[in-house]
Chain A
């Protein structure tokens, strides 16, 4: 069974469109994250939710809106896509109280904006 899954794996779209990426974890964790990995492989956290509440919101354009319908799901909606949004987006999860907050990552969604 996949621990952290994301859909779709690849997403190709035109500038100005709106798109969503979905993430689900079956590890029973209470915290989920979105990371962005740019073309130089640099990984940066975007958002974190704990028990459906937003706890980390880095400097991200407000075109990006995360939504957590329950502890096991964290979706990312992006409005008015721009060329610079092209990247690989990773979802991750962890459990508060587990030392070091080890995070488990999904396989990534490669977003290409044309």
Chain B
């Protein structure tokens, strides 16, 4: 069975500071990894994904995540956050079949 651990339930950070949201997964098979973002009172939007190839993946709004197979991690980073990045971030894993398993989410709180 697959599982995802997001150790930080909440990460407060000041605007323009760097941030890292941690994600560790457990799986006995090859995995696909995703980060989804949920803005207040909205649905989930895909932020970025790792399927294969380069272990560093980037989103259009400055986030990046690195797949580390030996550490079974897929941490999300941004070098300089904005107020508008305040949201709930979910890491998820799929084994290639229909089921996505989500972590418990990390609330990113950006303050001025």
* A interface residues with partner B (beta carbon < 8 Å): 4, 31, 33, 40-45, 48, 50, 55-56, 90, 92, 94, 96, 99-108
Flag if A56 contacts B32 (CB, 8 Å): no
Q: At the interface, is chain B mostly helix, strand, loop or mixed?
A: strand
CB within 8 Å of A: which B91-112 residues: 94, 96-102, 104-105, 107
How many residue-residue contacts, CB under 8 A, span A and B?
Answer: 62
Contact A99:B45 (CB < 8 A) given known A40-B104, A48-B98, A56-B98 = no
Q: In the bound complex, what is the Cα–Cα distance between A106 and B88 (angstroms)? A: 16
Chain B positions 49-104 with a Cβ under 8 Å from a chain A Cβ: 49, 51-52, 88, 90, 94, 96-102, 104
- Is the pair A102, B98 in contact by a Cβ cutoff of 8 Å? no
A101 and B90 contact, CB distance less than 8 A:
no
Contact yes or no, A106 B98, CB < 8 A: no
Q: Are B51 and A42 in contact (CB under 8 A)?
A: no
CB distance from A1 to the nearest CB of B (A): 15
Question: Are A108's CB and B43's CB within 8 A?
Answer: yes
Given the complex, which residues of A lie within 8 Å of B102, measured CB to CB?
Answer: 42-44
